[in-house]
Structure 1
C-alpha cells in the first residue's frame, strides 16, 4: 500500500472513531428528556459524568487503532501532511466538522505527546471559515406572529411535546401571555416580525429550557421558557426570561454542561452567540458539553488576542497560593494555574491529589458556584511577553513544569480558568456598604450551595473565592475539597478546664464548624455580617443535616435566575405574582439561586 493510500485509510479510521464518539455523545444527550420527565435526577448526574468521560475513552481507542495499523515513528513528515489533507477532505461537508477537527488534533497530540503544535499536521487553524446561517433552518423553528399571543404559545407547545401532563396548563399559558404583554407594549407586540426557537431543548439539573428570540424592527430580545416538574412529575412553566443578563447567567461558567441534542453544533452555537454576543464562542461550546472543542476554540482565540495585544504575562493579583502558582495577561479574561513543585508544611497532600480534586469538580454538579477549569499540556507562551518577575517565580516554584524552548516558555501542565476579582481584594477595595453586604451574603450562600451539591469546600478562606462583575461569589480553590461523607462534623466540647482543648483527640477527617468564624473572613465587621446572615454555617448541626441529606442522594434544584422572575404557582400568592417586567431592579440583578 502506498503512503498516500495508507494516509487515506488512517484518515477514514480516525473519522469513523469520531463519528462513533459523537453517536455515543448524542445518545446520552437524547436521554435527557426521559430523565427529566421521570424525575430520574441521580441518573441525570450519572449521565453527565459519563458524557464527560467518553471522549478520553474514544480517543484511546482511536490511537490504539492507529498504532495497530502503522509504526507511527517510522512515518516521515509527508505522511502526516497527507493524513491531514485526507481528513480535511472527509470532513468537508460534515455537519460536525469542527468537532471532528478537534478529535483529529487529539489523536495527533497523543501520537506526538503534544511536543509541538504544527498547523501542517494539525488543525491549529480551522480548515475553513464557518458561515453562520447556512444550516439555520435545521436548528430553529419559526412561529407565526400574525396570530394572538395565546395562539403562538399553543403552537410552541404543540411543537415541543413532553410525555407528562402539565400541572395546570391553562394557568401556565396565562402566565406566559401576561408576562409577554407586561414585557412589551402593544406597539412592540404589533411590530414583532418573527419568533424563533431553537429546536433543541436545553436540559440541566431539574430544569428544561426552550430558547429563542423575538425579533422587532428596533430590537431583538431573548425569549426563554423555563420548565420544571413537580414532585408528581407534572410539568409546569417556571418563568419567561427576556433579559440578556438572565440568559447569560443560565450559561454561566460555574454551571454544569447542558444536554441539548443537535447534529449541527456550529449553527446552534452561532445562534446562541447572536443572543449572547458578550459570551465567547468557546464558552458556548463548553456549555453544550463540547469542552474539548471549547479548548480548541479558546486556543485559537488566545492566538488571535496575542497578535492584537502587547502586554506582558504577570503574577495574578491576590495572596499567593500555597499549592498553585497563578498568573494572567492583564488584557485577557482568564488566569493560568500551575501546581507548585512543593507545598507549604500545612498542606499534607500530593500533586496527584490536587489533579484528582480538579477532576472531581469537573465531574460534579457545580451548581453555579464552582468555576469550570480546563486542563492543558505543553502550553506555549512567547518568552518576550513573560514578565521577568513571573519567569523567576515560575522557575523557583514550578521548575518541574516549566522549560524554555527557543523563544517560547513551555508549561507542561496547567489549568485555565475564568478571571475573577479575589474576594479578599474586593472586600479591601470596595466602599459601597450595599455591595459589601451582598458579597458577604453571597459568600455564605456559595458555601451552602456547594455543600448541598455534596462537596465540602475544605479551605474556606475568603481568598479562595472570587466575585464576578455581577456580584456573584464563586469558589475556585479545589485542593482540599472532598465529598460531604468524608468529614466528621463535631462540636467543641464544653468544659471549664482551660486545658481541655489541648487534650482533645482530633482525627484527620474531623471538622469543628464553630471555628469557621475565625478564618473565613478576617475583619470583625465582616465576621459579624456573616454570622448574622449565615450563622448556621458555624454549627455542626447544620453540616450534619446537609451531610444526612446528601447521603440519601437527595438532589437539590438550583434555579439560576432571580426569584422575581418566577411565576407563583400557589393560589394564595397569585395576586402577588409579578411576571418579568422590562426594568430590572438592583435586587433582580443579583442571582441568588432559589431552592424549590
Structure 2
C-alpha cells in the first residue's frame, strides 16, 4: 500500500508528464504549421505553449488539495515527498524539468515564501552527464564524398511535405557557400558533420542546427529554410559563424519550437556550439523558460558564493516606473515596479505587468528583450549597498521586505544587461559606431512597429546595445498594440496658440514630435531624421497600423541580408 507521501509524489509527477505531453504536442505541430504556412496559428502556438505551464500547475495543486491540506503538513512530510519524487525520477529523460515542476508546486503552495533545500530542488538532484543520449538527438553525415553529396544527404534526411522550389539550385548554393567558407585544406580535414535531429522552428523559418568538425576547429553549421510564396520550400542561407548562431539564439527573439524528449542533451550540444551562452539561456531558447529560471537562480547563487561585489543602482537615467539595479560582476539587471508614478505616466501597476506579459507572449522579432518574472526573490542584505537599499525603500517600499539578513523583493523582473544607448552615445567617439547605432535604432523601432506593436516611450534611454552592436528595446510600461493608438499629423497654422486649442485624447500620437525626444543631441536628431525620416510622419505609422490590422505576419530574418542566397525565379 503506497504511503500518502508516495501518492503526492506520484500526483506531482503525473502533472508534470501531462504538461510535458501538452508542451510536446504544441511543439511537434510546428512542422505542419511551417509546411502549410499557417503563420497566424504559429503565433497562437507561441502564446499557448507559454500559458499551459500555469494551467498544468494549477490543476496539479488542485489535485493535491483533494488528497490532503498541503499547508498543514510538516517540513519532514515534504522532505519525504521530495525523496519519493527523486526516486521516481530515476532514469527519467526530463528529470531536470520535472524537478522544476516540483519546485513550482511547492512554490505555489507556500506562495514562494519557502526556498528550502529540504523540501525543494534548490540544487539539482544529480549532475547531468552530457553525451549519454547524444545518439538519440544527433544525425551524423558521411564526409568522405563530395560536399554536394553530403548536402544532398542532409536534405534527404530532413524531409518536408512541401516541395522545394528548386532543390538543385539550393544544393549548389550550399555547396558554394561551404567552399567559400572553408579552403581546400580545411575541407579535406573535415571528419564529422553533426546536425541535431529536431528541426528548430520560429516565425516563418526552420533551422537545421549542427556543427562541422575539423582537427583544429569546430564551426556552427546551420541551414536556414523558408517557405516561398506559402507554397514551396527554399534554402535561404548556410551559416557558419559563431556570431550568427549567437544572434539566432538571441534573448530578444521568440522561443524555438524544437521537438525532443531529451532537452538536456540538446542543450549540452548547443552549449558546445555557443560556450558564451549560459545554460539557462539555452533552455529558455527552446521554450523551457520555467526551467531556465530555475537554472538561472542556481547560477545566481553560485555566482554570489564566488564574488563579493555589492548590488548597486544600475548605470543610466533613473526610470519613472521602474527602479533598476545590478550586481556589477553579473550579466543581468533587476527591475522593480515603483509604488507611485509621476502624473506623466498614466498607467497602473497592473497595467505595467500586463505590458510585460504582452511582450512575453509575442514574437519579440529580435528587438525586445525577454524578461523573467520572480516573486519573493532574496538577496543577502550584506551584499546590498546602503544607498541602493535606501532608494528601494523610498520608491518601492510596498515591494520590499527587509530582515536581519535578507532583502526580499516580492515581485521583480530580471533582464539581460546591455549598454544603455544614451550612455553609449555620450561616451562613444567612433563616428562609424555612432552612425551604426543610430541607424539600428531606427530599424529597431520600424521592426517593432512591423510586428504590430507600438513601443510607446521611445526615449533612447529605453534602448540598449548588445555586445554585437544590436539595438534592443527594454522598457515596456507604455507598450501596446498598434490599433490602440491614433496617429495624427500636427495642424499647420500661423497661430502660435493652435496647439493649445487642439483636441487631444490619451490615445493620440503625433509622430512629427518624435524627432525632438528620441535622441538628445542636435547632430544625432539630424542623423536619425536623415536615415529614417519616415518615422517622423503619421503616414508611416498609419500604414504600419493598417498592415497590422490585416493580421499578416511579417518575417524577420535574424541574420544579415548579405548571408542570404540570391534566388533565381527558376521553378
Please give the TM-score of this superposition, normalised by the length of structure 1: 0.95
Partner of 1:414: 412
Q: For 1:214 and 1:469, how far apart are their aligned partners in 2?
A: 25
Matched, 1:187 2:189: no
- Write the deviation string for residues 381-421 of structure 1: whole angstroms up to 9, x where unpaired: 00000000000000110101111123011000000000001
Give the CA deviation at 1:77. Answer: 1.6
1:102 aligned residue (90, 100, 103): 100
Give the CA deviation at 1:187. Answer: 1.6
Q: The residue matched to 2:424 in structure 1 has which SS? A: helix
Partner of 1:467: 465
Partner of 1:487: 485
1:27 aligned residue (25, 31, 36): 25
Q: For 1:423 and 1:144, how far apart are their aligned partners in 2?
A: 47
1:371 aligned residue (347, 369, 372): 369
Partner of 2:454: 456
Compared with structure 1, are the counterparts of its residues 232 and 73 closer, same or farther at alpha carbon in structure 2 (3 Å cutoff)? closer
Partner of 1:231: 229
1:94-493 paired onto structure 2 within 5 Å: 94-493=92-491
Give the CA deviation at 1:571. Answer: 6.2
Q: For 1:74 and 1:440, how far apart are their aligned partners in 2?
A: 59
Partner of 1:584: none
Give the CA deviation at 1:73. Answer: 2.2
Q: The residue matched to 1:559 in structure 2 has which SS? A: coil
- Write the deviation string for residues 321-340 of structure 1: whole angstroms up to 9, x where unpaired: 00000000000000000000
Q: The residue matched to 2:193 in structure 1 has which SS? A: strand
- Write the deviation string for residues 195-223 of structure 1: whole angstroms up to 9, x where unpaired: 10000000001100000011111111110
Kept in 1, the 8 Å contact 2:199–2:207? The answer is yes
Give the CA deviation at 1:511. Answer: 0.5
Q: For 1:17 and 1:274, how far apart are their aligned partners in 2?
A: 32
Partner of 2:518: 520
**What RMSD in Å do the two structures reach over aligned CA positions?**
1.0
Q: For 1:232 and 1:53, how far apart are their aligned partners in 2?
A: 28
Q: For 2:307 and 2:416, how far apart are their aligned partners in 1?
A: 19
Q: For 1:479 and 1:157, how far apart are their aligned partners in 2?
A: 45
Give the CA deviation at 1:232. Answer: 4.0
- Write the deviation string for residues 429-455 of structure 1: whole angstroms up to 9, x where unpaired: 000000001110011110000011111
Q: For 2:70 and 2:256, how far apart are their aligned partners in 1?
A: 37
- Write the deviation string for residues 345-386 of structure 1: whole angstroms up to 9, x where unpaired: 211111000000000000111000000000000000000000
Q: Which range moved further: 529-538 or 404-413?
A: 404-413
Kept in 1, the 8 Å contact 2:36–2:230? The answer is no
- Write the deviation string for residues 38-61 of structure 1: whole angstroms up to 9, x where unpaired: 111000000110000000000000
Q: For 2:305 and 2:75, how far apart are their aligned partners in 1?
A: 28
Give the CA deviation at 1:269. Answer: 0.2
Give the CA deviation at 1:501. Answer: 1.3
Q: For 1:48 and 1:98, how far apart are their aligned partners in 2?
A: 22
Kept in 1, the 8 Å contact 2:173–2:565? The answer is yes
Which contiguous aligned blocks of 4+ residues in structure 1 show a shift greater than 2 angstroms? Answer: none
Aligned residue-pair number: 570
Partner of 1:581: none
Kept in 1, the 8 Å contact 2:223–2:237? The answer is yes
Please give the TM-score of this superposition, normalised by the length of structure 2: 0.99
Give the CA deviation at 1:569. Answer: 0.4
Q: The residue matched to 2:532 in structure 1 has which SS? A: helix
Give the CA deviation at 1:570. Answer: 3.2
- Write the deviation string for residues 531-581 of structure 1: whole angstroms up to 9, x where unpaired: 000000000000000000000001111101011111000369xxxxxxxxx
Unaligned residue ranges in structure 2 (runs of 5+): none
Q: For 2:72 and 2:315, how far apart are their aligned partners in 1?
A: 48
